[in-house]
Structure 1
Amino acid sequence: MTQRRKRYDRQFKVSAAKVVLSGEMTVKDLSEELGVKDSTLRRWACECEEMGGGAFPGNGPSKINKDYEIVKPEKKVEELSARARY
């Protein structure tokens, strides 16, 4: 039987990261209280510290490859132009 992956909203992650960063509780104690792995809490704290308000933007990759976004429409235009010539 497969286990579903738990998902946490941005506010939950930020709040947990702030508790870790402030030192109010140890990572181990907070991990047990929240039911989240301690390695996950450490990662959230690092992301929050590095990215500040930009941490945990949502689903999917946090970085968008802008070059790909530009190339993709250009390729589509080339394909349509090639079809129109025939």
Structure 2
Amino acid sequence: MYCRLAQYPISLKHLQLALTMMREFGNRNNEAETLKALAELHYKIGEPDQAMKYCEQVLAITTELGLPLVKQCEEIQLKIQN
């Protein structure tokens, strides 16, 4: 929600907290979703290198677990590369 309102610092804080929680709980599916959201956010705020790092983590998890986020993450990567 904060991201849609362009309140990126608040979004970043909440997403980082969510990522920590997902990792602590061992919830890999939601960890991947959170990493994807972080990748999108970093892309929006002009930090493509950080966005790419998050995408790489998403791809590793989605490949391992067979999650359907691969295509979405690859789309983010294409945006970054162009």
Q: What TM-score, normalized by structure 1, do the two folds share?
A: 0.29
Q: Radius of gyration: which is bigger? A: 1
Q: Specify which structure has the higher proportion of helix.
A: 2
